[in-house]
Structure 1
Amino acid sequence: MPEPVDQPPRPATAGPLTCPRCGREDRVTGVGAAYLAAKAKLREETGTGEESKVTTREENSALAQALAPAPPEPAGTARSCTATLLLLGAVGTFIWGAIAGKWLSRDSAERWIPGPSGDGHVVVDPPLLHLAWISGAALALAVLLFVVEARITAKWRRRTLPGRGAADAVWSTAWYCARCGTVHFTGEPALTLQQFRTRVWSAGDYGDLARRHPAI
């Protein structure tokens, strides 16, 4: 994005919509409106005929992410999916071991082995203890991943939620110029998207996160 340098003086009759960089207002909108307009809605259609299914999901564009009043919530999809798979594996391994190894009941593990002359003897199948270890390890790892995910999300909320009101109050008074790609507040010079992000997030007391999440 171009830096707001060498800005022309604002006309004496300039209103709040007038961009301090280009001196025009035909492509200036409120930051809130620009943010919502930048959110892309993707339409997906699967199947054919009567079995077809249409789903719509919302995806933030680069501009929407740059204008966001707060840092994005940590994406824990990979951790959650891995934990779910491990949990299912732990349950499946335990059930398999319980049926094949018969470790839940010693009597059910007894088998009659007939002999060649009609006699025979009883044998006891040993439990499949290695399956128990695999099941337990998978369960422990799944629980650990769920706990890590919960702690990361809780930390993010503690940092952002208390200051969101103050950040939104500053964010909602700004204007975005689509021609210059800059943001301004009434009567002030134009700001780059990164400068705007730092100002808004600092109002919410999480401005240090702006360096970790640079705007476009």
Structure 2
Amino acid sequence: MDIDISCPACGRMDLIQSVPAVHSDGVSTSSGMDLYSGVGIAANGLVPVFGSATVERTHTTALARSLAREPNQRPVARITVLGLLLLLPALLVVVMSIASAATSNNPEATHVGFLAGAALFVGGIAAPGLFVLGVAALRGRRNGRISRGRRNAHSVWQSAFYCHRCGSAFWPFSPAPGVPARQAFAPQHFRWFVWNAGGYANV
């Protein structure tokens, strides 16, 4: 089967490159040294701390970003740990309230008013932690959606070409339903078709 990979906008082939190759050319990694400073605790008290660390950075061109197969996934682990740490004071208050009610000589003290007040107090203390955990859960859902759709998006993304002369991407044939063949698209419109095939165009 003979596939025409000439650009549908200019009709030429000399500056045509596959989208995966364009993306790969636009992503590079470099390593270097970074300095850091801080405060440490020693036997004599607080002391200044200076040091260096080897860091690795990824550089992505604007074109490679505009032709990305998927959006970047957002980190979840650190924000989850932060949410759990913010819940610790509320857990401590719950334990203290239970211990106080258990050791009380007056059984009347555990009535509805006391429990309602304790619940409101604990809820107020727990609210920031619950909010942060809610954000982490939303990020996890978004990341899962991207991971599930990656395979479908990849099949659409890898079959496309980019014309450096026109600055447009196109498909020589339709790799999936709803993806038009032999039409030139600006990178952001091309990306929408790819992300839509993966089911994460609106994340």
Question: Which segments of 5 or more consecutive residues in structure 2 lack a partner in the other structure?
Answer: 36-50, 93-122, 174-181
Q: Residues 33-48 of structure 1 correspond to what in structure 2 (within 5 A)?
A: 33-46=21-34
Between the aligned partners of 1:54 and 1:185, the Cα distance in structure 2 is 42
Between the aligned partners of 1:138 and 1:87, the Cα distance in structure 2 is 12
- The residue aligned with 1:27 is 15
Deviations 1:158-179 (A, max 9, x none): 4333322211111110011223
Say whether the 8 Å CA contact 1:43–1:56 is kept in structure 2.
Answer: yes
| 1:198 to 2:186 alignment | no
- The residue aligned with 2:135 is 148
- The residue aligned with 2:155 is 169
- The residue aligned with 1:56 is 56
Question: Which segments of 5 or more consecutive residues in structure 1 lack a partner in the other structure?
Answer: 1-12, 95-135
Runs of 4+ residues over 4 Å off in structure 1: 136-140
Deviations 1:163-210 (A, max 9, x none): 222111111100112232210111602111122122212222333x1x
The root-mean-square deviation of aligned C-alpha atoms, in Å, is 4.1
Between the aligned partners of 1:53 and 1:155, the Cα distance in structure 2 is 34
Count of aligned positions: 154
* Counterpart residue identity of residue 66, structure 1: S
Say whether the 8 Å CA contact 2:83–2:133 is kept in structure 1.
Answer: no
* Counterpart residue identity of residue 73, structure 2: E
Question: Shift of the alpha carbon at 1:75?
Answer: 6.0
Question: Shift of the alpha carbon at 1:73?
Answer: 2.1
- The residue aligned with 2:165 is 179
TM-score by length of 2: 0.56
3-state DSSP of counterpart to 2:153: helix
* Counterpart residue identity of residue 199, structure 2: D
CA 1:183–1:63: 2 relative to 1, 3 Å:
same
* Counterpart residue identity of residue 155, structure 1: R
TM-score by length of 1: 0.53
Deviations 1:21-72 (A, max 9, x none): 233333321111111221243433235xxx7643222143322221112233
